[in-house]
Structure 1
Amino acid sequence: MTTTIKSAELREMKTDIKKADRAEMAAKLGDALASTVVLYYKTQSVHWNVTGPLFGTVHQLTEGQYEDLAASIDEIAERIRALGAKTPVGLSTYVKNSVIDDLTEWGDVEDMLKQLTSDNLAVADQMREFVKIAEEADDVFTADLLTARIGALEEASWMLSANL
């Protein structure tokens, strides 16, 4: 499911970005926010639950990653607000609108790393689609924000997979 925002729900503002485009970008950012929130919780869950010979490495790696994700959650939410929309609320909304699945239990460290590797790439791919939409709307700030996040997510995926 995806977030829907109607142009009428946006606050009025002076910008060269058309109101309909702002509504679409805010909705897409709402979906990116949902995926990022779920990825944040999954990454922190690995941080808390990892055991075995890779404990120290994975524990430290995931701490840096969930801290980065926390900062990005705030950036994405603030961009939604800057476009004149309200951010989505409710954990169930985030789980429902995320491109990655929520988990209720983990396997071993290899399962954890494979899952987070895949999840980071899935969120990056989602954002890559949204960059194209932002560029078409001439919303360069959103395009740049998402492009930077794609780089961070792909790097996180690579670092996780390097431990397999």
Structure 2
Amino acid sequence: MKAKKSTSISKIDIGISEKDRTAIAAGLSKLLADSFTLYLMTHNFHWNVTGPMFNSLHVMFMGQYTEQWNALDVIAERIRALGVKAPGSYADYEKLTTIAAVKGEPKAMEMVALLVSAQEATARTARSLLSLADEANDQPTMDLLTQRLDVHEKTAWMLRTLLED
């Protein structure tokens, strides 16, 4: 006789309450939206940068959008590990992001300034979730957030130096 397969999914019991998991996932969804928006902006600028700094910026932007692309999966998978569906559409990201859409066709140094602002916005989103993750004793999310903060703050600093005289 064959054993019956269970089709029900067991309740998540990882030591974080459902309320906290839901709240953390909501914050991570905002981080995912900011990260995706930043990725698109950076990739767009990589394609469309012109001027005397073309090669330097083109290569720099490629390194940045590649790092951001890889981070998207890490953030989305953390949301899923917390038992929540990760947002995955432009409409979702548009509602959740804190980064304004780029208007027009910015010049090279305008691109750099826009990326500084978007990197800092993404860092603020990550930082805003730290205390909730800490209170919930959610070390994996705290680790993810501190790693993302390190990347976004360092990238903003490096970009910002290009705007100095």
Normalization by structure 1: what TM-score? 0.90
The letter of the residue matching 1:149 is R
The 1:33–1:11 alpha-carbon spacing in structure 2 relative to 1, beyond 3 Å, is farther
SS of the equivalent of 2:51 reads coil
The 1:38–1:11 alpha-carbon spacing in structure 2 relative to 1, beyond 3 Å, is farther
How many residues align? The count is: 155
Corresponding residue for residue 111 of structure 1 = 110
Structure 1: runs of 5 or more not aligned: 1-9
Corresponding residue for residue 131 of structure 2 = 132
The letter of the residue matching 1:122 is A
Corresponding residue for residue 13 of structure 1 = 12
Normalization by structure 2: what TM-score? 0.90
Structure 1 moving runs of 4+ over 6 Å: none
Corresponding residue for residue 65 of structure 1 = 64
Q: Distance in 2 between matches of 1:102 and 1:156?
A: 20
Give 1:14 shift: 2.1
* Deviation by residue 1:124-151 (Cα, 9 ceiling, x = unmatched): 0111011111101111110110110011
Corresponding residue for residue 163 of structure 1 = 162
Corresponding residue for residue 142 of structure 2 = 143
Cα RMSD for the two superposed structures: 1.4
**Larger Rg belongs to:** 2
SS of the equivalent of 1:107 reads coil
Give 1:155 shift: 1.1
